[in-house]
Amino acid sequence: MTDTKTIPVLIPGRMHAGTLEALQGLFDVRQAQGQPIESLSESERAGIRGVALMGVFTAEMMKLLPNLEIIAHFGVGYDGVDAGYAAANGIMVTNTPDVLTDEVADTTIGLLLNTVRELSRAEAYLRAGNWEKNGNYPLTKTTLRGRSVGIMGLGRIGLAIARRLEGFGVPIAYYNRSERDDVAYAYHPDLKSLAAAVDTLIVAAPGGAGTDKAVDAAVLAALGPDGVLINIGRGTVVDEDALIAALQNGTIRAAGLDVFAREPHVPQALIDLDNAVLLPHVASASEHTRQQMGNLVIQNLEAWFSGRPPATPVPEAVKAGLERRG
Ligand code: NAP
């Protein structure tokens, strides 16, 4: 085993507690404690060889660390990390795919059912004493029965959602940039055509420039007045203002959202809507799954600094041929 204890690894912001503790036992962990990286001395910055983080790491931040070799991202969606700049500059980026797929897919099904059957509102009704005082909770106008589902982003998570939905007996279609040759679900080469063909749209696509505000007013109009939008991908994929307007004026019927454009800020207009179910980005947030994600972050850093290929490099790093150190 290579002794990694002398290797300085920076944790610029928050980190899963168990993972932070394990990293502190393995590396010479430096924490910026929420301060900008510029607040570290020049010699301290020059010593940093690895970064472990959840969230954002820009090209500007990378430029401040001249000897940075690897950024180990806690989370599968790494749209906050400039992986293109990293790859062009020989910096490895890893993420945490697969270990969270089932948890996120489970949560998506829960959010979908909650949205169409109003489960959290029905519970609030009971807790407020209304069942005893005012009788039964009103029948829900929406149901999963008879719905057809479109998935934007039939990747690891999208496919796990689709497999679960097969058990619910609803037809499934999808939109990706490229058609998959290993599924029989109907493929739509553009998002608007998918939205027009279904009444329930689930977003499981990554954030970033390629998907920014892809679910816009036209897509929501195509989804139609019985439409339900579920977003567990990234908040930036949906034009939030257009969604608020569509929920307010009945362009679509309801939405279930785990992600938002400017987290942790959630627009008051969304909070005020009773046809929206809102979750604070919890799709992978169980102790079990977060531990698995943390283990993968650690595994990737250990592999890299022992001269072995990390388990889960991002595609940009693979394309740049950065499989292992030097
Ligand atoms: P993945 O396997 O890479 O799947 C991504 C899918 O999105 C692929 O099918 C890809 O197909 C499609 N896609 C990518 N860019 C697209 C574009 N510009 N337009 C349309 N489709 C596009 O990733 P995953 O593991 O399933 O994770 C998906 C995303 O879920 C993550 O990036 C993250 O943002 C989100 N996520 C959220 C949570 C949460 O807590 N809410 C947790 C985990 C993950 P093509 O390449 O053919 O387009």
**Rounded distance between C-alpha atoms, residue 270 and residue 291, angstroms:** 32
From the CB of 165, is ligand 1 less than 6 Å away? no
Structure confidence at residue 1 (pLDDT): 60
Structure confidence at residue 169 (pLDDT): 98
pLDDT in tens, 77-86: 999 999 999 9
Structure confidence at residue 90 (pLDDT): 98
Report which ligand 1 atom has the smallest distance to the Cα of 177. 48
Identify whether the C-beta of residue 314 lies closer than 8 Å to the C-beta of residue 95: yes
- In the chain, which stretches have pLDDT less than 50? none
Closest Cα to atom 7 of ligand 1: 153
Tell me which of 21, 179, 263, 323 is the catalytic residue: 263
From the CB of 210, is ligand 1 less than 6 Å away? yes
* 31 closest CA partner among 7, 11, 45: 11
Structure confidence at residue 25 (pLDDT): 98
Active-site residue 234, yes or no?
A: yes
Structure confidence at residue 3 (pLDDT): 86
Tell me which of 281, 308, 324, 325 is the catalytic residue: 281
**Rounded distance between C-alpha atoms, residue 109 and residue 262, angstroms:** 24
8 C-alpha to center of ligand 1: Å?
32
From the CB of 97, is ligand 1 less than 6 Å away? yes
Report which ligand 1 atom has the smallest distance to the Cα of 159. 26
Task: Select from 106, 176, 211 the residue to mutate for testing ligand 1; criterion: most ligand atoms less than 8 Å from CB.
Answer: 176
Task: Select from 16, 54, 76 the residue to mutate for testing ligand 1; criterion: most ligand atoms less than 8 Å from CB.
Answer: 76
| Domains of the chain (ranges, CATH numbers) | 4-97+287-319 (3.40.50.720), 101-278 (3.40.50.720)
81 C-alpha to center of ligand 1: Å?
15
Task: Select from 78, 79, 94, 104 the residue to mutate for testing ligand 1; criterion: most ligand atoms less than 8 Å from CB.
Answer: 104
Structure confidence at residue 326 (pLDDT): 66
Tell me which of 234, 253, 302, 316 is the catalytic residue: 234
